Structure 1
C-alpha cells in the first residue's frame, strides 16, 4: 500500500530531500550509495518519502515545457550552482503539496533546513560576517543573516550561537528568536533558543533582551549575567562564567553535575539520545568533555563509574534508538 504524504514524518521528508541533494551535488561514491540504500531500507516511511521525491523529479524533470512555479522549481533543482536553500524550498513545496502536513513557514523544519547557515547534530561552525562580527554555531543550529542600512539582524531559527560583535555605530546588532529580541551593546554573548524559552548569556559588554509580546518590559544584562527569555517575560539575572561558553571551544565542562543532566547535554551532540537508568542518575561527575568524542566519553564514564553501555536498536540493528548507561550486571 502506498503511504499517504501526510503520514510521512517531517524529519523523514527532510532527510529524503537531503539525500537527493547529496546525491546530486557530489560524485555518487559506492559508500554514499550504500548509506542511501541503507537509509531507505531502514523503515517504510523512508522509502515512501524517497518515492515521493522521485515522483516529483520525474514529473517536472521529464517535461519539455514547464511553466510558472513549477518552472522555477525545476530550474532550481537542476542547477547545481544555485544555493542549496533554494533547492530545498522549491522541492519542499512540491514534495508535500496537495493537503500535506507541512508548509514552508517561518517555524517549520523546512525553513530551518533552508536557512543561510546551519549545523547538524554534533557539528559546530565558525562564521565571520560581512561586518567583521564572528559567530559560532553550536550543534543542530540554523540561522538567517539579514543585514540592512540601519541594522544587522541574525534570525535564530533553532539551536545556539555565540556572537562577538564588530563595531558599527550606524547599525545596531540584533538576534531575533521566537521568544523575542537580543540587542548587543558592544559585546560577546550567546543565545540558546529552545521550545518555549531562550537563554541569553553575556560574557563581555551588555545585551538588552526584549520579550516578543508587545508591552513586555525589557532587561539589560551586563557581563557575567544570564537570563531566561519567554515571549511574555524575562527572568531575574543569574551569574554565568567561562564554563557556560566552553562549548565554543568544543568542550562541555561539568562540575559535580548529575550524570543524567550530563547525558542530556551530551545528547545534543549525538545522533541518538543518551540516557541512564534511575539507579545511577544522581551520580555526580566532573570534568572537561570534548563534545566531538561522544563514544570516548561514554567509554570513560563507563570505566570510571563502573557502568555498562547498553545500545538499543531496531530494524535488525540497523538503527540506534538510544544508548543507556546502567549499573554493571543490571
Structure 2
C-alpha cells in the first residue's frame, strides 16, 4: 500500500471513529445525521471503516482478551496488555454517560394528533402530513402520535414498515417499549414479539436504542443491516458483520 493510500486509510478510520462517537452519544442533530449520510456515501471505504468500528465495539463487550488482541491491530491499535484493558473501561464509561443523557427528563412536547391503527387480515397503508408512509402488516397494531417536529409510532404488536424522507428537522421514531428506532430519512422495518424487537434498514440510516437503563446501547444501522434487541438481554450485535479494512503495509 502506498504512502498516500495509507494516509487516506488513517484519515478515514479517524473520521469513522469520530462519527461513531458522535452518533452514539445520543446528541447528534438532524444536520449532523445528514452530514454523516453525505460522508458515508462519498466513498465505499467510509462505510466499510464505520461498519467495522461498530462491529469491533460490539465484539469488545463480550470478547476475550485474546480476541481483542487479534482485532485491535486492524484498527491500528497497540496490543499492549495495559492498553487492551482501557478500551473496555472507556466503553463502559461511555455507556454510563449515554445512559445519563438518555435518562434525562424533558418537558413533554404537546401532541397535535393521536390515533390508533390496527391491521387484521391485510396490509394497511397510511400517509401522514409530514410525508411519512406507514405500512402496517397483517395482525399488527400501532398508536401514532403526531407532534410539531416529530412523529412517534408505538408498535404494540406485529410489524410495520416506514418510508421517511425529511429534509428539515422533522423526525420519526418507532417505539416497542424496550427498543426505539429513530430517523430523519430512511426506509426500514420494525417487528416486535414478546421478547425481541428487530430493526431492518433498506435505505438511509436509522438510530436504534435498546437495553435496560444500566446497559443501554445505541447503534446506527445502514442499508442492509439489522439488529435484534432482547427485552431482557439488551442489544445483540449488528448484522451482517462487515469485512475488516485492509491492513496498511
TM-score, with structure 2 as normaliser:
0.47
Relative contact order higher in (CA < 8 Å, ≥ 6 apart) = 2
TM-score, with structure 1 as normaliser:
0.36
